[in-house]
Structure 1
Amino acid sequence: MWFIQPKQDYIPEIPWKHADEPAVMAWQIRARNYDTSGSNFSLVVMALISLGVGYFGFHIASLAEGALPVSLVVGGGMFLILILLSMSITHHSTILVYRFTETLAEEYSWKPQEAAAASFLKWSAIILLPIVGVLILMDPSLVIAGIGPLGMGLMAGMMGAKKSDNEHHPLDWRKTDKIYLYPGREIIGLNIPWYSPDLDKMMPRGVRQIYCKKGELEEVLNFFTTRLPEIDVVEEKFFL
């Protein structure tokens, strides 16, 4: 989930393009780098759908086998798979790694939810398979209960085969002409004018988001304000 911060130190492993310049500060964070209001509503809808599908599986298993443990495994397995897939779609998170020097900055990012979801499904299947195996030994007609954990294991294998692509974004923070503080979130926005080749002119607005770790926003903000003392700092929402 987005609130589980990465424990592995990725900073030394990143192939920084400007590693020859000494870093003033560097950090990593896992965050949802988008507007979450629409995602929250979508998740509620998907949760209701997942609950309905889980109940449908529970009901069908009850009619087919009649055993409560089998019905719970089938219905619960279907619900867990669907809700996990829904969350990976509506509330995906991104790991962002920043490195700032006195002249520029770099950001590497990637989405780890596929690996996290695959791990969850794998361990769920490992835990459920022995339970289902015991049930099948007690009553061979309960073989239908193996659909849930086997499906989880298959999905874990498919998701584990995928690798998230890394994204690299250079950032010339010295060109910032306005600094934004996003209300209610520890995000700093740097407005950096940029050249549009399609329009063949400079675009005055181009906000780059900087996601700060909890409690460290002031430290990051101080980095900019001490080096860009003439730039205005405003508390205002901007496009994520």
Structure 2
Amino acid sequence: MKVSEGLFGVRSLLSYWATPRELPPQLTWKYASEPELLSWRIKARNYNTAVANGMFIFMLFFTLALCFIMYDVYEGTDQPWRTLSCVFFFCLMAFTVSCMTHQRMNFAYRFTASGAEFCEWKNFPEWALRFLTCLAIVTAILFACMATLDRDASYLIYAVIGPAKVMLLRASMNSKVYRDLQTEFHHRTYEWSRFTLVVVDKKQTLVGLEFCWYDDYMNKDSLSTAPLFAKRREFDHLLAFFEERLPHVPRVARHIDRDD
């Protein structure tokens, strides 16, 4: 019984991380007064995941190679600090790279009789600032302990320089310019008549809605496909929903760009 309760708690926590709780105050539904026909919220990677995953694997192997080089360079360092420093460096770099290659955007979709509304937003990762603060504290404590155990005062220099560099990184991330780069809010509204095609991408388990819009820069009409990010088990349900709501709109099977 306790094992099942623990698994349920883990699933609940993962679900909390995977699903945004509510719309931020910067975004509101245009047709909020109308009853919804279908709605859902999800966190998804709105970019080429194959390229990102390949980059992540490459960086892991590159970091592992650096760790072996570090291990040879620190040949004069006593164990276990020699091994711990390499393990700490690998974990830190793997975490940093994963944050870059596995970023997720918040998506919320709402369909009513008047049309469709898509909200996208990315909040500033406050957890990263907390992580860097904790990292600076742990680094200072670690080097202080090494100075005490090895009776080497040079570690005290690292106990100051290491956390100082981490806090400088934290300060740069907390700047207004960086916060603005890491924060996005978008709200798009479409009438049902604007959709010209239902695109089905079975390989990615994605459904897309093609719509026409006027390109002011090119001075002509253009077509774009809005990918609808959803859980894989909802794929067939979405197809059935659009079959009912858009019976006269043709359906085509092809690749969907996730960042369209």
Q: TM-score, normalised by structure 1?
A: 0.78
Which residue of 2 is the match for residue 213 of structure 1? 231
1:53 and 2:33 matched: no
Which residue of 1 is the match for residue 84 of structure 2? 73
Identical pairs, percent: 21
Which residue of 1 is the match for residue 241 of structure 2? 223
C-alpha deviation, 1:181, in angstroms = 1.6
Q: 1:113/1:38 Cα in 2 relative to 1: closer, same or farther (>3 Å)?
A: farther
Instruction: Name the SS for the 1:52 alignment partner.
Output: helix
Q: 1:171/1:12 Cα in 2 relative to 1: closer, same or farther (>3 Å)?
A: same
Q: Deviations for 1:80-109, whole angstroms, at most 9, x for unmatched residues?
A: 333233223333222212222222333332
Preserved CA contact (<8 Å) 2:63 2:90 = yes
Which residue of 2 is the match for residue 93 of structure 1? 104
Instruction: Name the SS for the 2:60 alignment partner.
Output: helix
Instruction: Name the SS for the 1:33 alignment partner.
Output: coil
Preserved CA contact (<8 Å) 1:108 1:168 = yes
Q: 1:4/1:35 Cα in 2 relative to 1: closer, same or farther (>3 Å)?
A: farther
Preserved CA contact (<8 Å) 2:141 2:159 = no
RMSD: 3.3
Preserved CA contact (<8 Å) 1:104 1:172 = yes
Q: 1:173/1:216 Cα in 2 relative to 1: closer, same or farther (>3 Å)?
A: farther
Q: 1:151/1:212 Cα in 2 relative to 1: closer, same or farther (>3 Å)?
A: farther
Letter in 2 for 1:208: A
Q: Any gaps of 5 or more consecutive residues in structure 2?
A: 1-13
Instruction: Name the SS for the 1:168 alignment partner.
Output: strand
C-alpha deviation, 1:187, in angstroms = 1.8
Letter in 1 for 2:231: K
Letter in 1 for 2:256: F
Q: Deviations for 1:133-170, whole angstroms, at most 9, x for unmatched residues?
A: 43333234244774897378534565456533122131
Which residue of 1 is the match for residue 22 of structure 2? 10
Which residue of 2 is the match for residue 106 of structure 1? 117
Preserved CA contact (<8 Å) 2:139 2:163 = no
**Which runs of structure 2 are paired with 1:25-64 in the superposition (5 Å)?**
25-63=38-76
Preserved CA contact (<8 Å) 2:209 2:226 = yes
Deviates more, 1:100-109 or 1:3-12: 3-12
Deviates more, 1:132-141 or 1:154-163: 154-163
Q: 1:5/1:82 Cα in 2 relative to 1: closer, same or farther (>3 Å)?
A: same
Distance 1:87 1:219 in 2: 32
